[in-house]
Amino acid sequence: MTIASKNLQLRTATLDDLPALLALEQRCFTGDRLSRRQFRWLMQRGHAAIRLLEAETDGEPRLVAYVLLLFHRGTTLARIYSVAVDPDWRGQRLGEQLMQEAERLALDEGCSMLRLEVRTDNSAAIALYERLGYRQFGQYADYYEDHTDALRFQKRLRRAPGGLVREVPYYQQTLPFTCGPASLLMAMKAQDPEVELSRNHELQIWREATTIFMTTGHGGCGPRGLALAAWQRGFDVELWLNVEGPLFINGVRNPAKKEVLALVHQDFRDQLMATGIREHLAEVTQQDLQQALEQGGVPLVLISSWRFSRQKSPHWVVVMAMDEQFIYLHDPEVDEEDQKSRIDTQQVPVSRLEFSRMACFGQEKLRTAVVIYPKRSE
């Protein structure tokens, strides 16, 4: 593709462009620069697109701008990670052309939303994003290397979600095995502003709700354990579960560990019977989740992380909105090794078909949800 008016060439980056990309980083940014290793990883392994603008000077092509776009498996969310324009070429609307190219690529990937972050002192970029229809939806304190805050912007490339939207504060899990407690904290905070979002509270819930063992490492949290933890804190709770026996036991080979899993399972069942938790021994459906949102609940749903990260492990997320096409999630896990930040894990749009696939885990085809309602009046 050629932009004739500027005699510029737009193309996809290759490994041969690494020296030019690094040189442009040096010219454009004083900090938070991408490294050779990061560029190489993004080109070879990352789910990303890097588009370059080249100008012909003295008969030789010269890199004058680029845009880096990140896609996220299992979702319809894309993120503009970086836009760089050579200082000598600014003021010629190259940034706008690259932003439009990023939107085109995102639509080609089936994305419904595009996000980015920008320094609070970058007034030119902020004005550009607002002119292109991006709207601020948050702010990160102390985000950049020099401690400058970041403004969070997003643009819906497809229509916005309908009326089933819950305001759910975001909390990032602090350990690999605490997605359940982190998700529960978000749901409880949505129902009660006094709930403490802290690592101490996160670990306290994990100690109460853990299954003790998993396939490897520390055990995660099962639906009954999380339901009990919420109930004991005064919340009304509804539980959907289509597997009656001990969960995750097929992934454990050691007989002693299997015995512990069975004991924990039975203990949770016994405790549950002494509560008013509404338990449904059936598959949770999208209609059930929609009804829960309509009735003021905040659902936690167990998914297979394979659809997000290609890891075969159970993972808890929060459903905070639904419309005819998408289900919107808060994912407590921020995989920084995959170039993600919290901007990528909040209000994540997932198609209904993709959600149906991911909300099913293991050989037993486990489908489960824990719905947190406002606190009981008793």
Q: What CATH number does residue 6 fall under? A: 3.40.630.30
User: Could you give the residue ranges of the DSSP H alpha helices within the chain?
Assistant: 18-28, 36-44, 94-108, 123-131, 179-191, 199-209, 223-232, 255-273, 286-294, 306-309, 352-358
What pLDDT, on the 0 to 100 scale, is given for residue 4? 40
CATH code, domain with 185: 3.90.70.10
The answer to whether residues 139 and 175 belong to one domain is: no
Total domains, the chain:
2
Domain's final residue, options 156, 177, 192? 156
- CA dihedral defined by 29, 30, 31, 36, rounded to 10 degrees? 60
pLDDT tens digit string along 62-86? Answer: 999 999 999 987 788 899 999 999 9
Domain check: are 173 and 148 in the same one? Answer: no
Q: Tell me the C-alpha to C-alpha distance, in Å, between residue 53 and each of 15, 26, 217, 252, 341.
A: 16, 17, 47, 52, 26
Domain that holds residue 353: 164-375
310 and 350 in a single domain? The answer is yes
Lowest mean pLDDT among 28-37, 180-189, 246-255: 246-255
* Average pLDDT estimate for 3-17: 80
Q: Which residues contact 225 (CB under 8 A, 6 or more apart)?
A: 180, 208, 209, 210, 211, 264, 268
pLDDT of 212 strictly over 90: no
Closest by alpha carbon to 230, among 204, 198, 265? Answer: 204
Residues 27 and 66 grouped into a single domain: yes
* C-beta neighbour count of 232 within 10 angstroms: 13
Element (H, E) at 9: strand 8-12
pLDDT at 217 over 60: no
The CA-CA-CA angle for residues 293, 186, 241, to 5°, reads: 55
Per-chain mean pLDDT for the chain: 88
pLDDT of res. 344:
79
Cα 208 to Cα 133, 235, 263, distances in angstroms:
46, 16, 14
Q: Are residues 118 and 152 in the same domain?
A: yes
What digits encode the pLDDT tens for the residues 224-281? Answer: 999 999 999 999 999 999 988 777 666 667 788 788 888 888 999 999 999 999 999 9
Q: What percent of the chain has pLDDT over 90?
A: 63
134: Cβ contacts below 8 Å, ≥ 6 apart: 114, 116, 153, 154, 155
Q: Are residues 175 and 249 in the same domain?
A: yes
Quick one: average pLDDT of 315-338? 87
pLDDT at 1: 40
Distance CA 337, CA 83 (A): 20
Task: Judge if 149 and 218 occupy the same domain.
Answer: no
- Which pLDDT band, with edges at 50, 70 and 90, does 3 fall under? very low
- Residue 85 near residue 64 (C-beta atoms within 8 A): yes
- Our CA angle for 114, 361, 45, nearest 5°, is 45
Cα distance between residue 338 and residue 114, in whole Å? 17
pLDDT at 371 over 80: yes
Is residue 311 over pLDDT 80? no
Is residue 187 domain-shared with residue 70, that is, in the same domain? no
174 and 39 in a single domain? The answer is: no
147 and 184 within one domain: no
Let me know: does 83 contact 48? Beta carbons within 8 Å: no
Contact between 312 and 363 (Cβ < 8 Å)? no
pTM across the whole model? 0.67
Q: Which among 128, 156, 184 is the end of a domain?
A: 156
Query: 143 with 150: CB under 8 angstroms?
Result: yes
Are 35 and 181 within one domain? no
DSSP string, 280-341: E-S---HHHHHHHHHTT-EEEEEEETHHHHS---EEEEEEEEE-SSEEEEE-----GGGT--
Total Cβ atoms within 10 A of residue 136: 13
Q: What percent of the chain has pLDDT over 70?
A: 91
Claim to verify: residue 256 and residue 350 sit in the same structural domain: yes
Tell me the average pLDDT across 204-212: 89
Of 116, 124, 118, whose CA–CA distance to 91 is shortest? 124
